[in-house]
């Protein structure tokens, strides 16, 4: 069995269903892979999953598409490449408490946003506010990452970014009303989230193992799309983390995600060039795409085709 480590973007949750189904059904074992799943809770999110891959600690990371863009414009780390889209539809949103007076993104001017401290995140949120007619004048706080969803209830922030089928559903079940602002509804073409990222060396030197991992993972997500309740059971039985003891919650979350995993023709993971290009063009057009020194990077200077590849998913 060949070792392979996947670094999760969050504690185990329903975005990761296909991975846990693949483990439970023996798909990774059948592919000759001994897959270790690393939760960011292991070190209190001291190291991001993308950085774990960039430094060679993990083989593949789950992260948003902006992480691929960040590492392709970083002078000190390898240019990570997205090798699969976990979901075809973005289920994340910027949220405020429903009983607050933040009814639209423009209302966030002068308010506090709890940030995960990702490279382009805060400017994306500022532009979301501007797109709704605001000034984009928000105060940024950076609490410990794994506690960020609680900042609204604790009164430490007015808004933050969550996945609605997970944190949004948790709030709903606790009787907490949230007002979500979905990025595409405010002309932010956010791209794919989450995705899976790999190092160039993995694509070149360990292409067979990467293809085997993705093929097994695709089978897991196909199963999760077809039977979300069984996938929820696999997650509960084999993962450790918060909120995994409530089967009813997990099943409802899995049902809400089931139709996001596959393309219209039933494929998992594949990505479209146009969607990547639209996000890069938007970031550059709003001058959010900058170097670490703050210099604007024109869209033409970034090779969109280098940010992602479908090749491992379509390997024979």
Same domain, 46 and 148: no
pLDDT confidence of residue 316: 65
Residues 73 and 222 grouped into a single domain: yes
Give the distance from CA 309 to its chain's centroid.
17
The total number of structural domains in the chain stands at 2
**Please, what are the averages of pLDDT over each run of 10 residues along the chain (316 residues)?**
95 98 98 98 95 97 97 95 98 98 98 97 98 98 95 96 98 98 98 97 97 98 98 97 97 98 98 98 98 96 97 86
Out of 186, 219, 250, a domain closes at 186
pLDDT of residue 314: 86
* Same domain membership, residue 201 and residue 174: no
Residues 203 and 175 grouped into a single domain? no
Tell me the H-state helices in 162-206: 169-173, 200-205
Single residue among 186, 214, 234 that ends a domain in this structure: 186
From 186, 204, 229, give the residue that closes a domain. Answer: 186
CA distance 118 to 66: 9
* Tokens coding 17: 């269903």
The pLDDT, as a whole number, for residue 141 is 98
Looking at the structure, tell me whether residues 294 and 223 fall in a common domain.
yes
- For residues 304 and 277, the answer to whether their CB atoms sit within 8 Å is yes
Domain co-membership, 74 together with 202: yes
- Rounded to whole angstroms, the Cα distance separating 200 from 311 reads 13
How many whole angstroms separate alpha carbon 213 and alpha carbon 151? Answer: 36
Query: Is 84 in the same domain as 215?
Result: yes
> Do 305 and 198 belong together in one domain?
yes
Specify whether 8 is located in the same domain as 149.
no
Indicate whether 299 and 172 sit together in one domain.
no
Could you give the count of Cα atoms lying within 13 Å of 210 in the half-sphere of its Cβ?
Answer: 27
pLDDT of amino acid 1: 80
- Which pLDDT value is given to residue 175? 97
Q: How far apart are CA 213 and CA 28, in angstroms?
A: 7
Residues 22 and 160 in one domain: no
CATH of residue 155's domain is: 3.40.190.10
pLDDT score at 315? 75
Reported as half-sphere exposure (CB side, CA atoms, 13 A), residue 142 has a value of 7
Structural domain of residue 135, as residue ranges?
92-186
> Taking the CA atoms of the chain, what radius of gyration do you get in angstroms?
19
Residues 78 and 97 in one domain: no
């Amino acid at each position: 069995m060949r070792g392979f480590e996947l670094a999760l973007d969050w504690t185990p949750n329903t975005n990761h269903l296909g991975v846990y189904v693949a483990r439970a059904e023996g798909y990774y074992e059948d592919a000759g892979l001994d897959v270790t799943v690393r939760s960011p809770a292991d070190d209190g999110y001291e190291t991001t999953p993308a950085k774990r891959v960039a430094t060679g600690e993990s083989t593949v990371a789950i992260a948003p598409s902006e992480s691929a863009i960040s590492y392709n414009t970083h002078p000190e780390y390898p240019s990570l490449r997205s090798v699969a889209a976990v979901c075809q539809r973005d289920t994340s949103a910027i949220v405020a408490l429903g009983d607050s007076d933040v009814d639209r993104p423009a209302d966030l001017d002068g308010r506090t946003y709890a940030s995960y401290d990702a490279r382009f995140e805060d400017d994306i949120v500022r532009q979301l506010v501007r797109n709704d007619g605001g000034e984009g004048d928000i105060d940024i706080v950076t609490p410990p990452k794994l506690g960020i969803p609680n900042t609204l209830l604790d009164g430490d922030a007015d808004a933050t970014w969550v996945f609605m089928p997970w944190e949004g559903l948790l709030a709903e079940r606790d009787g907490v009303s949230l007002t979500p602002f979905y990025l595409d509804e405010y002309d932010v073409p956010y791209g794919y989230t989450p995705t899976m990222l790999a190092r160039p060396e993995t694509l070149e030197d360990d292409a067979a193992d990467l293809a085997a991992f993705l093929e097994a993972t695709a089978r897991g997500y196909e199963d999760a799309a077809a039977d979300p309740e069984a996938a929820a059971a696999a997650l509960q039985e084999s993962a450790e983390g918060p909120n995994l003891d409530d089967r009813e919650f997990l099943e409802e979350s899995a049902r809400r995600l089931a139709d996001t995993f596959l393309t219209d023709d039933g494929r998992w993971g594949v990505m479209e060039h146009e969607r990547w290009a639209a996000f890069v063009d938007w970031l550059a057009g709003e001058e959010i795409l900058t170097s670490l020194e703050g210099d604007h990077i024109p869209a033409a200077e970034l090779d969109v085709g280098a940010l992602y590849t479908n090749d491992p998913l379509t390997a024979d």
